[in-house]
Amino acid sequence: MSLSSSACPAVLSELPDPPGTSVPSEPFGADAALRAVPNVGRPVGVFDSGVGGLTVLQAMLRRMPHEDYLYLGDTARLPYGAKSRETVIRYAARVSAFLVEQRVKALVIACNTATSAALPALRAAYPHIPVIGVIEPGAEAACRASVSGHIAVIATPATIRDGSYPAAILRRRPEARVKSLACPLFVPMAEDGLFEGPLAEGLAARYLSAIFPVVTGQDDGRGEGQGGERDRPDCLVLGCTHYPLLAGAIRRVVGKGVTLVDSAATTAEAACRVLTERGLARSARSGGGTCRFFTTDDPERFARTGRLFLDMPLGGDDVTLVDL
């Protein structure tokens, strides 16, 4: 695996004006030339509102080490999770237009909030390439992991508002019981590197006690309320790119009997399957294995925070600033 950075490509000046808040039939201004059949040698485009999606990139690097990757973190507009659906669609459209202009062969939306709001619009805008989100793979993993069918989902306010995870889970397991909860402060906490310790655990306890009541060892017999062991979900979906970093603190609050699920590995698996099915996967002998990083705000900060999420050296010089 190697890093590569370059000057901001000239094509940036040709980017279309940002679209309005509605989604017109040609929403992202992609011209016909961009719709050329993608070829195997092209990179895979991955984006997130920030650095959290690097957890998905990391899983993709493990699963598909011979691919080249372009990763864009829209740090200038983070957090997406506190924005309206229309605004998130507009942001995702700009970022995707940039990656498509770099001729990516597939687009991975490594952001739960952007997947929830913009996946159908991006698929409609770029029918010539596979567009893969993180929510269906995450829901799939949760449905496989849960024995009782009682599943909890934590995510940003925007993802919870859209109800995308419960919908995806219930499509697979109509008998499932799904509880959803927004945990907005987990994102700044993870960005500050506060994964463990009293603050992280205190916040996790504050949020999660609504769904995971403290088990006293004395079941009240109804399986409900305080001590209601049977009312506890047996699976918790970490439905936000940042939450896996807080898994230790979350685990201490929910206890051992709950399976924590995140989308990173399952999304990498889904991307691998789609690329293979479409004849777009690189073979082991074809070289590849490079990553180029782009950000819409300070490259140094991207690199500093990104190192918390990515298991590789990353400096400000490895990251290219783009103005979208």
Of the listed pieces 28-36, 136-144, 234-242, 302-310, which binds ligand DGL according to CB under 6 A? Answer: 234-242
**How far is residue 306's CA from residue 180's CA, in Å, rounded to a whole number?**
28
**Catalytic residue list contains 111:** yes
Both tokens of residue 31?
């011209």
**Catalytic residue list contains 143:** no
Q: Considering beta carbons, is residue 238 or 281 the nearer one to ligand DGL?
A: 238
Closest CA to 30 of 110, 106, 94: 94
Amino acid at 153: V
Closest CA to 206 of 178, 186, 179, 180: 186
Strands 106-109 and 150-155: unpaired
**Residue 78 is a binding residue for ligand DGL (CB under 6 A):** yes
Q: What are phi and psi of 178, to 5 degrees?
A: -120, 130
Both tokens of residue 134?
């993180």
Cα 187 to Cα 124, 204, 205, 291: the distances in Å are 30, 12, 16, 24
**Residue 133 is a binding residue for ligand DGL (CB under 6 A):** no
Q: Find the binder of ligand DGL among 55, 146, 156, 305 (CB under 6 A).
A: 156
- The nearest distance, CB 90 to ligand DGL, in angstroms, is 14
Total binding residues for ligand DGL by CB under 6 A?
A: 17
Q: Considering beta carbons, is residue 195 or 232 the nearer one to ligand DGL?
A: 195
**Residue 309 is a binding residue for ligand DGL (CB under 6 A):** no
**Residue 159 is a binding residue for ligand DGL (CB under 6 A):** yes
Candidate list 111, 143, 183, 291, residue with the active-site label: 111
**How far is residue 201's CA from residue 210's CA, in Å, rounded to a whole number?**
15
Tell me the catalytic residues. Answer: 111, 240
Binding site for ligand DGL (CB under 6 A): 48-50, 52, 78-81, 111-113, 156, 159, 187, 240-242
